[in-house]
Amino acid sequence: MFQKAVIDTGPLFSALVLNYDLPRIAFGRARRFTHTLEEPLRSHNNPSLFLDILGSIREKLTTSHVIAELNGLVKTRLKLGDEDRLSFWRTGIDLLLQWNIDETLVRLLDLARDENSKACLPRIGAVDTGLIHLAIEHNCALITEDERTLAREAWTRRVDCRLVKQLMPVSG
């Protein structure tokens, strides 16, 4: 699908959740965190399809800010106890290592100096501006669940931005 792509917080969080739930599903048990996933990922029959789609991207990029946001989402959306949170992060880090994800630091002051980034920084914030900046810098796609803010700004800047719902086949 893509040789290289920048991955936003939402899709990365969804991938970590699906990956964490895979052993449960393999034993015929219900998914534990379906409520945290965007609709196409909730309703699709094959929970590993999204992981396969992201896994097929040869070069996966994200920012350090996205990685930092993940911890907040784990705390607020999953509400795991200490043991489960440790297990979640072990499986999550294993997946990120397997994917060899490139975590790049995109500095706020560098964004403020870049004319293209400076224009959208006050509107969408440093995290989203950094993702657009990274996609432009690497001339690659940006994958997000955020249609209202990030995707809209990316499309305005002519970035090949894809929503998760566009990547998933329509279930019949």
Question: CA 122 → CA 16, 43, 66, 96, 118, distances in Å?
Answer: 30, 36, 18, 31, 8
Choose one of 80, 103, 126: the last residue of a domain.
103
Q: What is the pLDDT of residue 143?
A: 98
Q: Are residues 128 and 162 in the same domain?
A: yes
Range of the domain at 24: 9-103
Q: Are residues 127 and 160 in the same domain?
A: yes
- Per-residue pLDDT for the chain (172 aa), expressed as one digit of tens each? 799 999 999 999 999 999 998 877 666 666 788 888 888 888 766 668 899 999 999 999 999 999 999 999 999 999 899 999 999 999 999 999 999 999 999 999 999 998 888 889 989 999 999 999 999 999 999 999 999 999 999 999 999 999 999 998 765 4
Q: Are residues 76 and 159 in the same domain?
A: no
Backbone angles phi and psi of 131, in degrees to 5: -65, -45
Q: Structurally, how many domains does the chain consist of? A: 2
The token duo for 135 is 């996609």
Inside any domain, residue 1? no
| 3-class secondary structure, 152 | helix
Angle made by CA atoms 117, 108, 3, in degrees to the nearest 5:
60
Choose one of 53, 80, 103: the last residue of a domain.
103
Inside any domain, residue 96? yes
Q: Are residues 95 and 142 in the same domain?
A: no
Q: What is the pLDDT of residue 136?
A: 96
Q: Are residues 93 and 126 in the same domain?
A: no
Are 115 and 53 in contact by the 8 Å Cβ rule? The answer is no
Q: Are residues 61 and 131 in the same domain?
A: no
Q: Are residues 15 and 99 in the same domain?
A: yes
Q: Are residues 93 and 144 in the same domain?
A: no
Q: What is the pLDDT of residue 45?
A: 66
Q: Say how many CA atoms lie within 13 Å of 142 toward its Cβ.
A: 31
